[in-house]
Amino acid sequence: MHLSVRPATEDDCKLIFDWANEPEVRNASFYTEKIEWPKHVSWFLQKLNDPNSLILIFEVDGLNAGQIRFDRNGEYFEIDYSIDINYRGKGLGKSIVSLGISKINSQFKKTIKILAKVKKGNSISAKVFRNLGFKELNLVNGDYEFKYE
Ligand SMILES: CC(C)(COP(=O)(O)OP(=O)(O)OC[C@H]1O[C@@H](n2cnc3c(N)ncnc32)[C@H](O)[C@@H]1OP(=O)(O)O)[C@@H](O)C(=O)NCCC(=O)NCCS
């Protein structure tokens, strides 16, 4: 299994749309409504051109397997990530977050502070950040915040 990473391009618009609307991904998001195509297109093009965002696509043996988006939020970059349904539970979550962090660090030529907000009940995602040594903060409403600095 060979894992590689590349920056997202305009050609990935539909791929990211389909991943974002997959039910478990919507359920794990803080905004759970289905995403509409026209809104997605303008949002995606704006993100691609935003110097404060970075979208990475991860491939396993040349096939699209997951994505990470980093968005600047104050002094941190906040992570959004997901693995294609066919590739979950194989340890890829941890690998893509770790590879994604080294990519963003090399892009900005410094150690970037990372923030991950994880919804209550998403113990698999919480485990990914815990296993990578993120500092954990359990919020009163049951959500988690993880920081890496
Ligand atoms: C969260 C997500 C990215 C994790 O990626 P993944 O590749 O499936 O996760 P991994 O295989 O790396 O597993 C992470 C940990 O959870 C455990 N795990 C994975 N699937 C599991 C399952 N179905 N039940 C229980 N534990 C599970 C793994 O054993 C691993 O722990 P370990 O390293 O201590 O053994 C993926 O499940 C996903 O895309 N979910 C929907 C979107 C989402 O939740 N995004 C994150 C928003 S914060």
From residue 84, alpha-carbon distances to 34, 68, 74, 105, 137 in Å are 17, 12, 29, 24, 27
Question: What pLDDT, on a 0 to 100 scale, did the predictor assign at position 139?
Answer: 85
Q: Which CATH fold topology does 3-148 show? A: Aminopeptidase (3.40.630)
Q: Are 116 and 134 in contact (CB under 8 A)?
A: yes
Give percent of the chain above pLDDT 90: 97
Mean pLDDT, the chain, whole residue set: 97
Question: What pLDDT, on a 0 to 100 scale, did the predictor assign at position 1?
Answer: 87
Q: Model-level pTM greater than 0.85?
A: yes
Question: What pLDDT, on a 0 to 100 scale, did the predictor assign at position 4?
Answer: 97
How far is the centre of ligand 1, averaged over its atoms, from the C-alpha of 127 (Å)?
7
Mean of pLDDT values over 115-138: 96
Tell me the residue type at 10.
E
Order the strands of the 63-73 sheet from edge to edge. 3-7, 53-60, 63-73, 76-83, 113-118, 144-148, 135-138
Question: What pLDDT, on a 0 to 100 scale, did the predictor assign at position 120?
Answer: 95
How far is the centre of ligand 1, averaged over its atoms, from the C-alpha of 91 (Å)?
7
Q: In a mutational test of the pocket of ligand 1, which residue from 124, 127, 132, 136 has the highest number of ligand atoms less than 8 Å from its CB?
A: 124
Q: In a mutational test of the pocket of ligand 1, which residue from 15, 88, 132 has the highest number of ligand atoms less than 8 Å from its CB?
A: 88
* Residue closest by Cα to atom 48 of ligand 1: 118
